[in-house]
């Protein structure tokens, strides 16, 4: 806080003499939001410039006053961007800080800026503009991450690796197929931000405190000037709605879950027990005591970010759940949650993209792991259905018996002899060995969305075209 002796007087002046004395330090601290909502400065100034231009076009204020306001706001903007702006806690928020400084710069015309608007519709507009910008940033970040996944998928479209269920070896898949699963996930994340952006692109400005205004304003003009599709149709809803922030947080939380799942796999795969991948030194750290360690810290931190982002989501839902219409001061608690979630989401997207682009994949380790753990047992069961005519449940039982035999012998299914297999079921013949190889297994999965390299490459081409 600066100049505590003078700031209460400034606060009193902004309130038009309503209070005989300034709020005490505790009230000032709990009431002020400038410590965080100063991040809305660019949106606040943009909205005020559009509002001033509209007021002049409607003849509500003079052209000379509007020009002075718009030019003065640019001066304020340059001061903030240069780090020379004196943010004052006693002025409570970004709106009052900007307006007070504008008055110092241009004098009396600054007082006309707030005609036909309220801080209620002003903050709703500023915040909506900010969240819209963050949705655009998330969309761009996800597109970059999807391209990184596509690069990995294209490189390893036919690299065989184990597919897992319950983190146990299940069936062979390809590295490309595994990477394309995340393409689908992150594409859904992108679509959620696109959908949320479309819904939030309505302008609250002109709703004033809650009931609209008696001035002959042009809300369509300000909406268009700020890049909105239309003004919001109900003034009560305009100042009290925070659905756009809740939708952004919800989309961010789901995206963070997907990032966390991929981060978890990178942590597992880079371990000495797997060695499927090697993390670049850019995204790893060493140990202060164990010189052999390469810790996947970036992946672990991404994995943890869901805690913060989901926490922010729950916090804002809780703030909003019982509020009557229209504006309540509770809603001041919306911004810090969204700011923190957006910061951590953007950081996580950028870090994950970087890790994937620098990731080294150990193709030999993938193949060795896929070739163990009886990963072609399902192929054997399918062969028994197709070639021996067994019902699938019987084929499943025969295959289970052969797996038990291989376990007892300490070998894998392809290492059993034909005699071994025929001792379980006489219909088995030499052609069964063709389906027991992992490459044959993945090549056979030609159903749409399957792991066959041809299918993977077709999906890669589809997504490349979609992104282009």
Active site (catalytic) residues: 166, 287
What are the Cα distances from residue 104, in Å, to 56, 71, 76, 110, 111?
21, 13, 10, 9, 11
**Positive/negative CA dihedral, 88, 92, 97, 100:** negative
Question: Which token pair is 187?
Answer: 């594409």
Q: How many CA atoms lie within 13 A of 79 on its CB side?
A: 17
Question: What is the rounded (10 degree) CA torsion for 306, 123, 49, 63?
Answer: 170
The whole-angstrom separation of Cα 214 and Cα 233 is: 16
Only one residue has tokens 């910008």, namely 133
Structure tokens at 378: 């399902």
Q: What sign results for the dihedral spanned by CA atoms 335, 209, 194, 314?
A: positive
DSSP for 158-179 reads T-EEEEEETTEEEEEEEHHHHH
β-pair partners for 90: none
Sign of the C-alpha dihedral computed for residues 277, 279, 280 and 281 taken in this order: negative
The single-letter DSSP state of residue 113 is T
SS (H, E, C) 239-277: HHCCHHHHHHHHHHHHHHHHHHHHHHHHHHHCCCCCCCE
Considering only CA atoms, which of 406, 364, 182 is closest in space to residue 274? 364
Can you tell me the distance from the alpha carbon of 345 to that of 467, in angstroms, rounded to the nearest whole number?
21
Question: Residue 81: is it exposed, middle or buried by C-beta count within 10 angstroms (0-12/13-18/19+)?
Answer: exposed
370 with 362: CB under 8 angstroms?
A: no
Name the 3-class secondary structure at 93: coil
Find out whether 160 and 174 touch, Cβ atoms under 8 Å.
yes
Rounded Cα distance between 42 and 48, Å, is 10
The three-class DSSP label of residue 203 is: strand
365 burial level (CB within 10 Å; 0-12, 13-18, 19+):
middle
């Amino acid at each position: 806080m600066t100049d505590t002796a003078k700031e209460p007087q400034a606060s009193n002046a902004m309130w038009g003499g309503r209070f005989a004395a300034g709020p005490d330090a505790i009230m000032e601290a709990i009431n002020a939001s400038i410590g965080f909502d100063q991040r809305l400065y660019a949106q606040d100034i943009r909205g005020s410039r559009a509002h001033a231009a509209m007021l002049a076009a409607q003849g509500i204020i003079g052209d000379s006053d509007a020009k002075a306001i718009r030019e003065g706001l640019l001066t304020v903007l340059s001061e903030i961007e240069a780090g020379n702006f004196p943010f004052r806690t006693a002025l409570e928020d970004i709106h009052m800080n900007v307006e007070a400084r504008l008055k110092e710069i241009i004098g009396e015309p600054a007082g006309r800026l707030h005609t036909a608007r309220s801080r209620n519709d002003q903050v709703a507009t500023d915040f909506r503009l900010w969240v819209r910008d963050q949705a655009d940033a998330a969309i761009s970040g996800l597109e970059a991450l999807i391209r990184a996944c596509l690069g990995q998928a294209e490189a390893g479209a036919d690299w065989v690796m184990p597919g897992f269920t319950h983190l146990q070896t299940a069936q062979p898949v390809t590295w490309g197929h595994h990477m394309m699963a995340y393409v689908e996930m992150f594409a859904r994340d992108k679509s959620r931000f696109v959908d949320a952006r479309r819904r939030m692109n309505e302008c609250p400005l002109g709703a004033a405190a809650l009931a609209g205004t008696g001035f002959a304003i042009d809300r369509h003009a300000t909406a268009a000037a700020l890049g909105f599709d239309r003004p919001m149709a109900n003034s009560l809803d305009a100042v009290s709605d925070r659905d756009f922030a809740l939708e952004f947080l919800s989309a961010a939380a789901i995206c963070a879950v997907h990032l966390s799942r991929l981060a978890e796999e990178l942590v597992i795969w880079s371990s000495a027990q797997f060695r499927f991948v090697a993390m670049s030194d850019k995204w790893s750290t060493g140990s202060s005591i164990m010189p052999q360690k390469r810790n996947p810290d970036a992946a672990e931190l991404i994995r943890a970010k869901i805690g913060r982002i989901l926490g922010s989501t729950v916090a804002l839902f809780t703030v909003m759940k019982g509020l009557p219409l229209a504006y309540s001061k509770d809603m001041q608690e919306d911004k810090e949650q969204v700011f923190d979630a957006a910061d951590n989401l953007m950081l996580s997207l950028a870090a994950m993209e970087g890790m994937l682009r620098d990731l080294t994949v150990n193709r030999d380790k993938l193949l060795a792991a896929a070739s163990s753990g009886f990963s072609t047992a399902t192929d054997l069961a399918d062969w028994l259905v197709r070639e021996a005519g067994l019902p699938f449940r019987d084929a499943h039982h025969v295959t289970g018996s052969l797996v038990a035999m291989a376990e007892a012998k300490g070998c894998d299914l392809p290492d059993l002899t034909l005699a071994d297999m025929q001792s379980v079921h006489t219909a088995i013949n030499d052609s069964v060995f063709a389906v027991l190889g992992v490459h044959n297994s993945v090549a056979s999965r030609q159903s749409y969305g399957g792991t066959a390299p041809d299918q993977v490459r077709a999906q890669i081409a589809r997504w490349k075209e979609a992104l282009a």
